[in-house]
Amino acid sequence: MEVIVLRIAVASFSHETCTFCPNITTLEAWERGGIRYGESVLFTDREGPSYITGIKEAISSEKDVELVGILRTSEPATVGMGGWLTTEAFDTISDRIREGIKKEGNIDGVLLALHGAMAVTGVPRPEAEICRKVRRVVKKRPIMVTLDLHANEDIELANSADAVFILKTYPHLDSHEIGRMAARCMVETIHGKFGPTMAMQKPKIICASVFQASQSYPMKEVYSRCREWERKGVYCASVAPGFAYADVPDVGFSIFVVTNNDYELAEKAAQDLSSLVWSLRAELTRQLPKAKEGVTKVIEMVNKGVKPIVIAYHDDRLGDGTHILKELIKQGARNFCSTSIADPAVLNSLVKKHKVGDTVTVKIGGWVHPISGEPILITGRIEYLGGADWVETGPMGKGAKRHDNIVASLNLGDNNHVVISERLRAPMSADPLKAIGMDVDSLDIVEIKSRVHHKAFWDTWAKMDYPIDPPGTTPADLSTLHYENIPWDIYPIGEKWRK
């Protein structure tokens, strides 16, 4: 007897676009970052868990199902976080997905691992547009989408995809799990055992990433309510708090609920989650201390024995920000490590002219954009200079093999250290610091340019995680940004609430 093989296409085109960051994201940047096609889309060795590994696991027990790799992008090579995607970049890559699926011929379903916070010049809702392109090829066959928790989506995605599954953890630790859920749903749907039925709600709230940690109040409450609905029969309840730094019309919270043929249940859950989120809006939009007062507070706490402390320099997305380092030095902090000032020019000159052990005076940072602060003059002994390799042992990307072409560490005295990197380098665990010889446990203050992801490891190491809000491209205080495309009634910065 001939076995009929079901073929599920897999494609991934993912970007969190910071439209307030100065450099646009071009096709060239995507090509340089790397785009894979065909079978290699499904190779995941030494990458750590991901949507794709989850999809593969779900399919591994299905004898009559085959995955067909179409296209998968890596991070585009931009300085810091990429700004607006060019229309050319978006059209070219999304057309390649459509054409790749078309070329395969008989495809029974499509799994798209997208992000949700992509922002494209001239394309207001890129993820929905990708689905519409694919829809023209696969017609009525199911299209299912996985998204990051920082997704900004609305009714247009609900209208163009059969089911939407979104991460529930920030730090993001469940991409494997969400990929598996989506793939399982896809297989059951193709077999006719599942009827994906969605409800969508959009509470009008925009909030900074730094307030969205899934293990902390208030988002912890939201995700435990999602789990409650899943225990009551919902297949997947998703709440994305969104990405505030994409100036797009569907910015902010997005709720998608998937059930098996139960519209009533889906709608009830989505409405309940929406009112829960609305009730938490004040906590989601609070203010944080600025650089000077924040660093003063940290030093005070360290002196009282509350240590070590991690400073989350959460709004530097370009990597060249100097505001916190400046205050640490000025206020006489000791035993600190500033874990990343991106400055490739200084790195190059160190490599050319110096070696480990030399004492150097360099001006670092503050070169990408004035908002990052002035370049800062430091004198220190080179304690590390060269490439670095490590395997992540922390929860984020556990098992993944990482590499830096070139990185330097300067010892400023008083057990103070500054790491100079080629681009923004936020250590997700102590591994990247240990890889360059840092005695991490001797530190009282570790400054990391991250919002929440670092907490997966660093909350287990530090007494306290302390976010500070110096000037930066992605501030906690969203009222300081100039938006042009967001809804009139979005809380707390839409026109309606400003009056």
> Which of positions 69-128 make contact with Zn ion (CB under 5 A)?
none
Are 142 and 189 contacting, i.e. CB atoms less than 8 angstroms apart? yes
Name the residue nearer to Zn ion (CB basis): 129 or 148.
Answer: 148
- State the burial class of residue 461 (Cβ atoms within 10 Å of its Cβ: 0-12, 13-18, 19+): middle
Spell out, one character per residue from 134 to 173, where the chain touches Zn ion: x when CB under 5 A holds, - when not. --------------x-x-----------------------
Least separation in angstroms between residue 465's CB and Zn ion is 17
Query: Considering beta carbons, is residue 189 or 429 the nearer one to Zn ion?
Result: 429
Burial letters for 268-279: b for 16+ Cβ neighbours within 10 Å, e otherwise?
bbbebbbebbee
Least CB distance to Zn ion at residue 312 (A): 15
Calculate the CA 300 to chain-centre distance. Answer: 32
What's the rounded Cα separation, in Å, for the pair 223 and 280? 13
Residue facing Zn ion at closest CB distance: 150
Q: Would you give the DSSP letter of residue 471?
A: S
CA dist 93 and 76 (Å) reads 12
Give the nearer residue to Zn ion in terms of CB position, either 9 or 236.
236
CB of 16: closest distance to Zn ion in angstroms?
A: 6
Select 19 or 259, whichever has its Cβ closest to Zn ion: 19
56 binds Zn ion (CB under 5 A): no
Least distance (Å) from Zn ion to the CB of residue 452?
A: 9
Nearest to 309 by CA among 291, 295, 325, 330: 295
Nearer to Zn ion, 81 or 446 (CB): 81
Give the residue with the Cβ less far from Zn ion, 148 or 447: 148
Phi, psi of 355 (to 5 degrees): -140, 170
Burial 158-171 (b: 16+ CB within 10 A, else e): bebbbbbbbbbbbb
Measured distance CA(238)–CA(85) in Å, rounded: 26
For Zn ion (CB under 5 A), the number of binding residues is: 2
- Compute the least distance from the CB of residue 172 to Zn ion, in Å: 6
Q: At its nearest, how many Å lie between Zn ion and the CB of residue 72?
A: 17
The site for Zn ion (CB under 5 A) is made up of: 148, 150
